[in-house]
Amino acid sequence: MSVLLEQYRSRLVTAAEAVKKIKSGDCVHYGAFCGAVYDLDKALAIRVDELEDVKTITTIWPYPEVPAIVQADPHSKHFKFQTTQFGAVERRMNREGNCWYIPVQFREQLKYFTQDVKIDVAMLRVAPMDKHGYFNLGPQVSDAPAIIESADVVIVEVNDKMPVVHGMRNAVHISQVDYIVQGSNHELPTISGKEATEVDKKIASYIVERVRNGSTLQLGIGGLPNCVGSYICESDIKDLGVHSEMFVDAFLNLYNAGKITGNKNLDKGKMVWTFAMGSKELYDFIDNNPIHHVCPVDYVNEISTIARLDNFVSVCSCLEVDLYGQVNSESAGLNHIGGNGGQLDFVLGSYLSKGGQSFLCTPSTFKTKDGTITSTIKPTLMQGSIVTVPRQVTHMVVTEFGIANMKGKSTWQRAEALIEIAHPDFRDELIKEAERMGIWKNSSKVLV
């Protein structure tokens, strides 16, 4: 029997046996994205009455159902479920009082877990061990290397369906693993982007007009990024590269259309990203495909890394913008919607890139639950809203009415530019508010 096989067998336990290593008061990392544990979560939920004050941490809970530990402990008397980003499930749990958000700069998370947050037990879902004793982390590396390094106990849940992805610090060796659980091979969670609206299409058309041959793209999930990708597929734009926090189906479509060649001045020939979520076709595409280069988030989202890539184009969504140019992408007042991810990093890095551009996109209006239509461009951000991108940093703001460039503009010029891309029904009101706020004077240019 080989040494590796002996090590494997000596560490192989059931999920129920593995979670016995978790004690009251422990901080437990649950993995992230498609690497969030599934069977171990269910096994830990069974121990609910045995444990007190167990804090769990993840970055996006990817499954449609709430975690088993939350189902078993809906009033959070035993488990505190925490996350550094918010998806649909986290939003629902947060409203119900059993999910807590950890504000972060995504690129800093490796440092958090080696310097500021003590992880007692790390649990990650991984691909089967290879002949060299490595478990591939799959389509997510993000902060996993630091979590593995800092944890007292490391438990891996093996999933035979986990794609094997090439990259940097993208695997954990059996020598770093304390317990191995053969999982139930639950399917990887898939997500599909929303269909692009007519507003999305208009916004996308403005952005695509500004994309140059040889640009490097960062796109997120949703109807708008997919629409940007579709419009590029139909255009003459070519020789694109990928350097993106998230790898999404829009990139797969661009690659299949021959638009992505990886002809960039850093990591040439590689699609670089830190996590992927999307369709099964997306996971099949990245599985053991050497064109992909998954890396820790402190490399992918590092501002100086982004700045080294010429003609960088970042496309992100936001919720509201005020007349000073402050951008909120996280909350509707006190109602928490999402995390900031790497939005600020990509806005900063893109502008430092030679020829770089960042686009923060929002429809000009939003319909509230009671049917009221409100402007997403506001005099000031709603009380309780989060400033995701400060006014000094904002570059391009885009609505279906055009693009407003914030760089180098005075307060009244910013207000004017933003009012020009606001919905016409709200422009007069915005001008009056800008006058009241002292950023729209008689000497200011009047809109035609």
Residue 227 lies in a domain: yes
Residue 442 lies in a domain: no
404 and 267 in one domain? yes
26 and 127 in one domain? yes
Q: Whole-angstrom Cα distance, residue 359 to residue 384? A: 24
Residue 318 lies in a domain: yes
Domain with residue 90: its CATH number is 3.40.1080.10
Determine contact, residues 119/85, Cβ cutoff 8 Å.
no
Band of pLDDT at residue 423, cut at 50, 70 and 90: very high
Which residue matches tokens 């970055």? 59
Q: Which of 151, 182, 213 is the last residue of a domain?
A: 182
Whole-prediction pTM value? 0.95
pLDDT at 445 over 70: no
336 and 256 in one domain? yes
pLDDT at 218 over 50: yes
The two structure tokens encoding residue 116: 């500021």
176 and 204 in one domain? no
204 and 170 in one domain? no
Residue 407 lies in a domain: yes
Q: What is the DSSP letter of 113?
A: I
Band of pLDDT at residue 443, cut at 50, 70 and 90: low
| pLDDT for 369 | 86
172 and 49 in one domain? yes
| pLDDT for 1 | 57
Domain with residue 260: its CATH number is 3.40.1080.20
Kindly provide the b/e burial profile for residues 339-363, where b requires at least 16 CB atoms within 10 angstroms of the residue's own CB. Answer: bbbbbbbbbbbbbebeebbbbbbbb
138 and 235 in one domain? no
236 and 343 in one domain? yes
Q: Which of 182, 214, 245 is the last residue of a domain?
A: 182
Residue 257 lies in a domain: yes
361 and 389 in one domain? yes
pLDDT at 317 over 70: yes
Phi, psi angle pair for 396, to nearest 5°: -100, 130
- Amino acid at site 309: L
| pLDDT for 442 | 61
The two structure tokens encoding residue 304: 């100086």
Q: What spatial distance separates the first Cα and last Cα of the chain, rounded to whole Å?
A: 82
Active site amino acids:
245
123 contact partners, CB below 8 Å, separation of at least 6? 18, 28, 29, 30, 31, 37, 40, 155, 156, 157
Determine contact, residues 315/396, Cβ cutoff 8 Å.
no
Determine contact, residues 27/118, Cβ cutoff 8 Å.
yes
Which residue matches tokens 């996971």? 283
Per residue in 4-58, pLDDT (tens digit) is 999 999 999 999 999 999 999 999 999 999 999 999 999 999 999 999 999 999 9
- Amino acid at site 284: D
Residue 22 lies in a domain: yes
Helix (H), strand (E), coil (C) string for 346-415:
HHHHHHHCCCCEEEEECCCEEECCCCCEEECEECCCCCCCCCCECCCCCCEEEECCEEEECCCCCHHHHH
Q: Which domain holds residue 257?
A: 198-437
Determine contact, residues 211/238, Cβ cutoff 8 Å.
no
313 and 168 in one domain? no
pLDDT at 448 over 80: no
Residue 193 lies in a domain: no
428 contact partners, CB below 8 Å, separation of at least 6? none
Residue 188 lies in a domain: no
Please state the domain count of the chain: 2
pLDDT at 446 over 60: no
Neighbours of 223 (CB within 10 A): 18
